[in-house]
Amino acid sequence: MKVLNGPIKNNSMVTMSVIYTACAVIPGKPMVMDMKKRVMILLLVTGAIAVFYILDLQQFLTLSSLKENRHALLIAYQAHRPAFTIGFILIYIVQTALSLPGAAILTLAGGAIFGAVMGALWVNIGASTGALLAFLLARTLLRDWVINRFGQKMKAFDRGLTQNGLSYLLFLRLVPIFPFFLVNLACGVTGLSIRTYLVGTVIGILPGSFVYANAGASLASIENIGQVAGPRVLTSLALLGIFALVPVIYRRWNKANDIAS
């Protein structure tokens, strides 16, 4: 789930291992790209991230800033609805693709400006598209190296997971303990199909997006971001994630019965 991953320690080896295992499928053919193009892409990405921090743009991605500027944003939206909506989606795409901070605030802003339902929709489009770009960046820049370096170890992870890619990805997206950007990058270096990744992302982030967009529609009542997703919400999302694993559990149970008989 996209907007609930901020507090998680991103350097957790256990978390990374679980994410990788869930995303891994039998590796397909690596994406071919010469080194010069890879270096250019890497420089562009690094430059864009550097600009974000040099200009201190994250100062605008705070709850207090959103509250102060909500009226002006609403006026701008009323005056230029199509352009404003497209601009919002594009900003969300860039934020997600480059793994920049501010997803929670942008999702709250979506609810505050567009309403809960439309806000969740535009957020989902922006986040899913940005996640796909991050996935493709990881696959383009890192997959060949990972296969060459860890090819044999990857096969151990990949074995038996081809049919379960969507279930595992839904689990990762719904359960609010896996950093969103790590899921994007980890899945990118595996052979997970683009179609499975996109479907799992679109469906998996929708509940969390709606929770935050709905909270954003009542922005004045929010004192801090932490109160948006209380224990009940987190538990509900975790249960949805576990439910996504039911097909995997059923297959294994069936297989165990077949072996026993």
Structure confidence by residue, pLDDT tens digits, 177-220: 888 888 888 888 777 889 989 999 999 999 999 999 999 999 88
Indicate the pTM of the whole model. Answer: 0.81
Kindly tell me the burial class for residue 249, based on how many C-beta atoms sit within 10 Å of its own C-beta (0-12, 13-18, 19 or more). Answer: exposed
Q: What percent of the chain has pLDDT over 90?
A: 44
How far is it between the farthest Cα atoms of the chain? Answer: 69
Question: Which residue in 131, 210, 221, 225 sits closest to 172, CA to CA?
Answer: 131
Tokens of 165: 């890619």
Categorize the per-residue pLDDT at 33 as very low, low, confident or very high, splitting at 50, 70 and 90. low
- pLDDT for 10 equals 43
Q: What percent of the chain has pLDDT over 70?
A: 77
Question: Which residue in 257, 252, 256, 260 sits closest to 164, CA to CA?
Answer: 252
Categorize the per-residue pLDDT at 9 as very low, low, confident or very high, splitting at 50, 70 and 90. very low
Give the integer Cα–Cα distance in Å for 76 and 80: 6
- pLDDT for 75 equals 97
Give the integer Cα–Cα distance in Å for 255 and 121: 39
Q: H-helix or E-strand containing 169?
A: helix 165-174
Enumerate residues 6+ apart whose C-beta is below 8 A from 206. 120, 124
- pLDDT for 160 equals 43
Categorize the per-residue pLDDT at 141 as very low, low, confident or very high, splitting at 50, 70 and 90. confident
CA 170 and chain centroid, separation: 11
More confident residue, 34 or 29: 34
Angle (nearest 5°) at CA 7 between 45 and 126? 45
Q: Indicate whether 5 pLDDT > 70.
A: no
Other beta carbons within 10 angstroms of residue 157's beta carbon come to: 18
E strand residue ranges, 88-216: none
Question: Which residue in 248, 72, 68, 208 sits closest to 127, CA to CA?
Answer: 208
